[in-house]
Amino acid sequence: MFIEGIVSSYRMNTKDFRSRVYAYYNQQGRDLPWRHQPTLYRVCVSEFMLQQTQVSRVINYFRAFTQKYPSFKALHQASLTEILTAWQGLGYNRRAKYLWETAHHIAAQPSGKQYTAEELVKLPGIGRGTAGAIIAYAYDLPAVFIETNIRTVFIHHFFTNQPNVSDAAILPLIEKTIDRNNPREWYWALMDYGTYLKQQGAHNRSSAHYSKQSKFKGSLRQVRGHILSYLLNMPTPVSMPHLCTALPYPKNNIQKALNHLVQEGLMSKNNKGQYCCV
């Protein structure tokens, strides 16, 4: 146990709160690969990969992906099929497409351009939270943003036993407590401390934005992922009857998943009614 009673929750002032977070981080902070050389590219890759995916699953994917595609230019020069292949197993494949499209935008800009939050949110797959994280981690600037681990920390210490806590109520506290001299490391510390609190039983069920993730097995996400993985390994387009024979899902689920994948630009349908990755 790091410090006896560290998970006891009570209201505290800014100085005490910051000391508590840094005390944990200084002893138990994680050594994560994207924290080494936190360039705009490496931060973007990690932020896209970490959306709805646990850190432990991302680590090896991040290392392999950034070794194969070490820059926005390298990512821009690859085909979407190549990127989707490198992404396989990580899930939520739209993220790979958004990252690839974002690389096209950034590779076309002058090298070293520093982006504002307003510019970042115009890029594919980047919302306000991701934009804030990119600015804090890549530029070491005190952007204010919230995500699940940060939310856990603030609910635990400032909203004990309060229901339906909104992000709007938390954001002013994030702004008030941020370490403006070292925002990048402060957010790393918050993330690590939030992870620790979750391991000790803290959770975000008091958040007004809390929703339990649906089960993967049998879901449309599983069907989509299986179809995409199958087609990435097929040398030629395949028909709907072929997929129904090859994959263990009801015909209606396969058709629904195919429709979504085509609409999202992850695969295409030719004039013979056959499907392939783009």
Catalytic residue numbers read: 47
Distance, in Å, from the CA atom of 243 to the CA atom of 246, rounded to the nearest integer, reads 5
In degrees, rounded to 5, the angle at the alpha carbon of residue 4 between the alpha carbons of residues 2 and 10 is 110
C-alpha 170/C-alpha 175 separation (Å) is 9
Evaluate whether 153 touches 194 at the Cβ level (below 8 Å). Answer: yes
Say whether 36 sits in a helix, a strand or coil.
coil
Nearest partner of 177 among 186, 164, 168, judged by Cα: 186
SS3 133: helix
Query: DSSP string spanning 1-30?
Result: --STTTT------HHHHHHHHHHHHHHH--
d(CA 41, CA 25): 25
Which residues are within 8 A (CB) of 253 and not within 5 positions of it... i.e. 6 or more apart?
220, 223
User: CA dist 8 to 156, 173, 188, 270, 276, Å?
Assistant: 9, 19, 21, 60, 54
Side chain identity, residue 240: M
